[in-house]
Structure 1
């Protein structure tokens, strides 16, 4: 019996040593310890009222599903994994951004969009040379833009819009040779636009509307080889004229300089071959409207609230895509040609609005009968003394706002409703198909049109092809124009009806990750018509919440649970070994030799061999 106990003791001690070795291996760091410490400091600087970052207290960032922390799948040459993305959008975080962000030296996406974070942008972010997307829009950030941000060699997009950033634009931004998107609207950025920015070879979108910019419009911007959108509304360039060189912006799609205190004449923009949207309203522009014919792509012309004279150019009747011609509150004279609405055949989804109020227009040449989807406002012109035109001279109605609202068509399906988090797809080719959608808040930041109904089908094809989905998988639940003008949408994406001949009511996990990554990585290709977009939220219903858990349901992660279990085993094994030792010693204490000739010789640890040397042996 003693021998059995000693063998068991040896086995238990060996198991204890093995378990300790396993647990020690589990504790070996996977993520670079410098980055782990940096993440801990980042968390300390934030106020997380909803405890969305509670997972940051457990395990390893790259293996324990820390909320919003995405790592590279492989280790680097230093033997560690590194953080590739910090996706913390829309988590109701406040507090401040920690300078320790600069220690995430392999980071490519830094996303704190749509939180309540205050304080300044840390200059240490300029140390992250791998950074591609800097997304800080929709917070309460203050202070000036750090010069250090101008030395990020791989930056593709900087979004700091809808904050309280002040101070000038750093001249160092002229070094951002890979940056395509400058989205800095709705801040308090002041001073002059540095002409050095005209050296940026990849700049596509320059959105700085609703700031405190002043000085002059850099004529050097005409040299920007890739610029598609120049949007500077609601700044104060008092006494400044629109540079004539802007006529040479060969790729420009949208020029929006509304309410900028601009003076002088409108340059001839007819040489811009694809210009689709022109807004020069609410300035102090004078002279006549240039007679050169604008691009046939033009959808919107807004020259209202200026000091323009002369007549409406005859070629304004020949724009096949025109949705809006707004020239109210000027001093235009002459006649209104009926060819503006008679030269086009509008389909049911097309709309044309002509606002000519408060000018000196004397008559309508041609028929004043308007198609159903054409709106003409003429109040405040001499021609309104003609009693035959009284129906065109009333006050503006809500007809235009009604046309801008989205229509919701409820489905007529069987009485029993879908289970919770599921709903009927209105766009599925299978009637009353019940599935769990992905919910996406989405916004077009600078669209190239004024009315969406005409382009709704085009948009559905654009967004689904960009996501590699079928058009019927998208349901535009609603849309609404907001100040900017910007177009907000609420999108629902449904799974395909059948996968491998089996009905599918949910997306699989990998597809959820892929679709979300397309939005958060800005991997959907840009569109000339729809312009830049932004993700407002990506909502996961119950069937998908495990894919991106923002607040872990259980109080312990899988890695920690394994460690606890192994630790418990180790403790149990150790205690068993100690008890076994005491038992063996207890029995050895009570043992008395029967014969003096009987000897016990020690052979090895925990084992004795006992034998007799009497005469009969």
Structure 2
């Protein structure tokens, strides 16, 4: 009898524990199924029938397309519907997926507000909803997702300010809110995100100064371009960014000089500070210490100093170098491609470079684009060495006091843009001038002193779409037609 009572008591205790567990954790895979069916019901367009033919109660939710379950708990762990062209609003019922770790709805046509209920899912490590049409603000509750490692909200229509609470996302590694309509200052609390590697804020309306990034020693990519950020970059701005590889601040309103501490970023590959109001000289450390630099854009600023000092350092990896629209002066050295042997694009137009235009270009074997337009070079002939740059595609030499005849360009078979206007070039265009320019699309020679007839070989330039020979002394009969012709 005692044994029977003991067994009965043990059974009742087990039953109590089972019922207590059900009460404490009432959500099951059925809850997840209901949440996903509610999500499906708000989809207004599913052009590839990804959900309509697959998400059905006749099969396990864990086998549905885009759904993955946690084997231990038998609950939905991941929802990945990336790039399925789905349209509709996102159901707040997704907030019932209490074991969700990964949510990827990127590259669809979802609209409306992103449900605030999803910000209660504290197991979330990945939220990727970029390239949709979401609207509204970003709530303070975002900062409660302390496990979050990837947050991609880019290419939507989010507006308003970034909440200070984002500083609580201490495990975040990748943060992309680019291509939205966010405004106001970037929260100072961003400096708490010490694990961050990718910080992508471009194409918004952020204003004010950039918060200190010195605690963010893991940063590899920083994109703040195309905002309304302003102020000076602090002298120690680059002191604690040893991993930084990619930095773009272009098209903002920064002023003052480029901090010399930039030379500390020895891992830097891509640097774009163009289209600001930066002044002063270019720090020697940019080319002297940044030996891995591949692309450097400093154009559209107010930088000054002697151009020759920039080319005292060898950088065998630099391929693109933009310095146009500044106040640089001095003589352009003839060793450009000796120091920068892999240079592909070099833009120096609209400065105050003087002296003779370099004639030695045979070392520029990789150069594809060259602009020396509108400087103050001495009067003289066009450098004949240009024809050694057989990979050249774009050549801009406008407004440079060039005189004499155009040298043969027959070796430059890749040329498709040529601009020699606003010079004193003269003489006749050689009869075979256009024989070896099969790629030529854009040619402007206007406002020079060319005479004689237009060579019939121009008919060989079958790719030509823009031709401007106006303001010269050309004569003869037209034997060709083109989409745009200006002859005055």
Give the TM-score normalised by the residue count of structure 2: 0.69
Q: Which residue of 2 aligns with 1:52?
A: 50
Q: Could you tell me which of 270, 273, 297 is aligned with 2:266? A: 273
Q: Does 1:246 align with 2:237?
A: yes
CA shift at 1:60, angstroms?
4.2
**Which consecutive residues of structure 1, in runs of 5 or more, have no partner in the other structure?**
1-29, 403-617
Q: Does 1:299 align with 2:290?
A: no
Q: Which residue of 2 aligns with 1:136?
A: 129
Q: Per the alignment, do residues 358 and 345 of structure 1 end up closer, same or farther by CA in structure 2, a change over 3 Å counting?
A: closer
Question: After superposition, what is the alpha-carbon deviation per residue over 1:169-226, rounded to whole angstroms, capped at 9, x for unaligned?
Answer: 11111111111000111111111000111011200110000001001111x2122121
Answer yes or no: is the 8 Å Cα contact 1:31–1:61 preserved in 2: no
Counterpart-to-counterpart distance in 2, 1:242 and 1:32: 53
Q: Map of 1:232-243 to 2, 5 A cutoff?
A: 232-238=224-230, 240-243=231-234
Structure richer in helix, relative to its length = 1
Q: Which residue of 2 aligns with 1:38?
A: 35
Q: Which residue of 2 aligns with 1:386?
A: 380
Q: Per the alignment, do residues 344 and 380 of structure 1 end up closer, same or farther by CA in structure 2, a change over 3 Å counting?
A: closer
Q: Per the alignment, do residues 376 and 384 of structure 1 end up closer, same or farther by CA in structure 2, a change over 3 Å counting?
A: farther
Q: Which residue of 2 aligns with 1:257?
A: 249
Counterpart-to-counterpart distance in 2, 1:153 and 1:274: 30
Counterpart-to-counterpart distance in 2, 1:164 and 1:216: 23
CA shift at 1:366, angstroms?
6.3
Counterpart-to-counterpart distance in 2, 1:345 and 1:305: 25
Q: Which residue of 2 aligns with 1:524?
A: none
Q: Per the alignment, do residues 283 and 339 of structure 1 end up closer, same or farther by CA in structure 2, a change over 3 Å counting?
A: same
Answer yes or no: is the 8 Å Cα contact 1:122–1:146 preserved in 2: no
Q: Which residue of 1 aligns with 2:360?
A: 368
Give the TM-score normalised by the residue count of structure 1: 0.55
Q: Which residue of 1 aligns with 2:405?
A: none
Q: Does 1:359 align with 2:344?
A: no
Answer yes or no: is the 8 Å Cα contact 2:311–2:339 preserved in 1: no
Q: Per the alignment, do residues 399 and 382 of structure 1 end up closer, same or farther by CA in structure 2, a change over 3 Å counting?
A: farther
Q: Per the alignment, do residues 112 and 393 of structure 1 end up closer, same or farther by CA in structure 2, a change over 3 Å counting?
A: closer
Answer yes or no: is the 8 Å Cα contact 2:39–2:93 preserved in 1: yes
CA shift at 1:401, angstroms?
9.0
Q: Could you tell me which of 89, 105, 110 is aligned with 1:112? A: 105
Q: Per the alignment, do residues 376 and 227 of structure 1 end up closer, same or farther by CA in structure 2, a change over 3 Å counting?
A: same
Q: Which residue of 2 aligns with 1:62?
A: 61
Q: Does 1:318 align with 2:319?
A: no
CA shift at 1:357, angstroms?
0.5
CA shift at 1:399, angstroms?
6.1
Q: Map of 1:530-549 to 2, 5 A cutoff?
A: none
Counterpart-to-counterpart distance in 2, 1:154 and 1:130: 6
Q: Which residue of 1 aligns with 2:172?
A: 179
Q: Which residue of 2 aligns with 1:88?
A: 81
Answer yes or no: is the 8 Å Cα contact 1:201–1:226 preserved in 2: yes
Report 1 or 2 for greater relative contact order, CA contacts < 8 Å, sequence distance ≥ 6: 1
Counterpart-to-counterpart distance in 2, 1:393 and 1:47: 52
How many residues get paired? 362
Answer yes or no: is the 8 Å Cα contact 2:110–2:134 preserved in 1: yes
Counterpart-to-counterpart distance in 2, 1:320 and 1:49: 51
Answer yes or no: is the 8 Å Cα contact 2:55–2:61 preserved in 1: no
Answer yes or no: is the 8 Å Cα contact 1:357–1:378 preserved in 2: yes
Question: After superposition, what is the alpha-carbon deviation per residue over 1:379-411, rounded to whole angstroms, capped at 9, x for unaligned?
Answer: 101116322448665369996999xxxxxxxxx
Q: Per the alignment, do residues 225 and 90 of structure 1 end up closer, same or farther by CA in structure 2, a change over 3 Å counting?
A: same
Q: Per the alignment, do residues 384 and 352 of structure 1 end up closer, same or farther by CA in structure 2, a change over 3 Å counting?
A: farther
CA shift at 1:45, angstroms?
2.4
Question: After superposition, what is the alpha-carbon deviation per residue over 1:463-506, rounded to whole angstroms, capped at 9, x for unaligned?
Answer: xxxxxxxxxxxxxxxxxxxxxxxxxxxxxxxxxxxxxxxxxxxx
Larger Rg: 1
- Root-mean-square deviation (CA, aligned residues, Å) is 2.6
